[in-house]
């Protein structure tokens, strides 16, 4: 891992960075520890009741794990030596790594490089949004299956064997020896409870976790409702993962990219968009196609302006209106379908956002995360009604009690006012999901800079041509 990083520096693809090199050294040690690693052995023998209790409590420490086989004696001869049980299967479980730090410092790049080179067969890499969505979906499917097969009485069965979160954890750990999660965050109590139970199973069954985040474990779900229920998970995470802060304040996305495809007016966008649609995609800007994009769960998302070449549909593009995708009942699954279907996305009439309009802002940030994860090329133009927005950093504005913008203010209780804005009886300023928006704003603006840069476009489109 460290050698790969140094080779990229020598080639001029990235800058030399001591903070990144320290993370790479830790990842290199983990890479060595994972050679020939497979947690299958932990599924090959019965689990003792003591181990079941440890797993249920999420208290299994990282290290050597074994399970004894049941032994029985035969015969009545006092001198007869009882048969010895076979030695328990043993597995040295390496501690994972939790990397946290400011946006744009290379956390995702380092984890992805590690993932590409680590010699583990059973490995999986997710953006945290996608991971949680998949877990929720699998839990829902198990509940529906149990309801269909056993009736409603089964739904109240509290035994650990029938707990759907436990069962999803077993399925995931059996198929995954190494789990990499990008942009780890916790924003509501439902996810907090699920994560506590799920990771108790994953760690007990030998799944090694590598994660990136903008926040250290102790700050996860900060200010969240019933956070006390989540605190055991933090202890569990810190036992099974080395926590490493990347000590850097350089946002490489902003430092290395210029926003060639970020527009402060619709007129400037139209000229460049026409050129790209006609010359790159091979379609006619004035004759878009309409269709329902399948999303899942028998749902679709209406796309009224999509483009692809009729003769060689290698690249697909679409135009989306900000209000359409951020001010309606649209979520991560819809955004993921868009990101996976289209190579180029044009997002128009984007309005400035703030913490008081947190639902709209959260949708927009989730959309940006999904587009970034899918490596989409991005056009972005701002609203005609807005004052001139010169850069992605100006899309997110903090608003104080008196309604004035104040980009320097960061205290949420001052910004929102505990007695001013509330949601469901809980002050918005105290909601963990709103607190996370401060970090998410910064991450999203950094990613927009990169996705709207010519270097990003050149790299993505050249890769697309090579694979077609």
Mean pLDDT of the chain: 81
Provide the 10 A C-beta neighbour count for residue 330: 17
How buried is 442 (Cβ within 10 angstroms: 0-12 exposed, 13-18 middle, 19+ buried)?
middle
The residue written with tokens 């059973």 in the block is: 122
Nearest C-alpha neighbor of 195 from the set 40, 54, 43, 58 = 58
pLDDT score recorded for residue 18? 92
Mean pLDDT of 165-192: 93
- Whole-number Å distance between alpha carbons of 360 and 437: 11
> Could you tell me whether strands 289-296 and 299-308 are parallel, antiparallel, or unpaired per DSSP bridges?
antiparallel
pLDDT at 161: 77
* CA dist., res. 24 & res. 132, Å (int): 27
pLDDT over 90 percentage in the chain: 44
pLDDT at 225: 80
With a cut of 90, say whether residue 438 has pLDDT above it: no
Least-confidence region, from 13-22, 326-335, 360-369, 395-404: 395-404
Spatial neighbors of 384 by CB under 8 A, at least 6 apart, are 265, 266, 349
Range among 88-92, 154-158, 409-413 rated most confident: 88-92
DSSP class of residue 173?
A: H
Q: At residue 179, does pLDDT exceed 90?
A: yes
pLDDT at 9: 83
Q: What is the pLDDT of residues 209-224, one digit of tens each?
A: 999 998 999 999 887 8
> What is the CA angle 240-181-208, rounded to 5?
35
pLDDT interval class at 463 (50, 70, 90): low
pLDDT at 406 over 60: no
User: Residue 407: is its pLDDT beyond 50?
Assistant: no
Ordered structural domains, the chain, with CATH: 2-67+89-245 (3.40.50.300), 252-466 (no CATH)
> Quick one: which of 13, 27, 77, 67 has its CA closest to 44?
67
Please determine, for residue 462, whether its predicted confidence score (pLDDT) is greater than 80.
Answer: no
């Amino acid at each position: 891992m460290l050698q790969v990083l140094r080779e990229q520096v020598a080639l001029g693809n990235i800058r030399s960075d001591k903070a990144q090199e320290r993370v790479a050294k830790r990842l290199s040690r983990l890479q060595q520890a994972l050679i020939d690693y497979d947690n299958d052995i932990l599924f090959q023998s019965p689990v003792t009741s003591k181990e079941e209790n440890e797993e249920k409590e999420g208290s299994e420490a990282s290290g050597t794990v074994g399970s004894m086989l049941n032994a029985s004696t035969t015969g009545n001869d006092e001198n007869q030596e009882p048969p010895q049980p076979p030695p328990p299967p043993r597995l040295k479980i390496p501690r994972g790594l939790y990397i946290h730090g400011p946006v744009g410092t290379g956390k995702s790049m380092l984890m992805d490089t590690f993932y590409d080179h680590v010699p583990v067969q059973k490995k999986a890499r997710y953006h945290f949004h996608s991971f949680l969505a998949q877990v929720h979906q699998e839990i829902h499917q198990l509940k529906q299956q149990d309801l269909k097969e056993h009736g409603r009485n089964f739904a109240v069965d509290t035994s650990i064997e029938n707990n759907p979160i436990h069962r999803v954890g077993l399925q995931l750990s059996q198929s995954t020896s190494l789990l990499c999660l990008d942009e780890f965050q916790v924003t509501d109590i439902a996810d907090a409870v699920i994560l506590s139970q799920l990771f108790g199973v994953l760690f007990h069954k030998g799944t090694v976790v590598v994660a990136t985040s903008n926040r250290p474990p102790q700050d996860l779900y900060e200010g969240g409702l019933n956070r006390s229920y989540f605190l055991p998970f933090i202890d569990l995470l810190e036992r099974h993962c080395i926590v490493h802060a990347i000590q850097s304040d350089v946002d490489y996305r902003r430092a290395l990219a210029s926003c060639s495809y970020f527009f402060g007016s619709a007129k400037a966008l139209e000229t460049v968009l026409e050129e790209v649609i006609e010359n790159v995609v091979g379609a006619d800007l004035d004759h878009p196609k309409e269709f329902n994009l399948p999303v899942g769960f028998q749902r679709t998302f209406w796309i009224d302006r999509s483009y692809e070449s009729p003769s060689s549909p290698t690249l697909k593009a679409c135009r989306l209106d900000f209000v359409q995708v951020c001010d309606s009942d649209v979520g991560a699954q819809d955004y993921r379908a868009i990101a996976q279907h289209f190579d180029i996305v044009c997002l128009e009439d984007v309005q400035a956002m703030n913490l008081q309009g947190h639902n709209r802002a959260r949708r927009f940030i989730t959309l940006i995360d999904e587009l970034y994860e899918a490596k989409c090329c991005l056009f972005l133009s701002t609203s005609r009604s807005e004052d001139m927005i010169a850069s992605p950093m100006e899309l997110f504005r903090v608003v104080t009690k008196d309604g004035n913008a104040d980009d320097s203010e960061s205290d949420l209780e001052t910004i929102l006012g505990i007695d001013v804005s509330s949601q469901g009886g809980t002050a918005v300023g105290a909601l963990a999901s709103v607190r996370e928006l401060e970090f998410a704003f910064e991450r999203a603006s950094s990613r927009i800079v990169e996705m709207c840069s010519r270097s990003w476009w050149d790299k993505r489109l050249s890769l697309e041509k090579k694979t077609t």
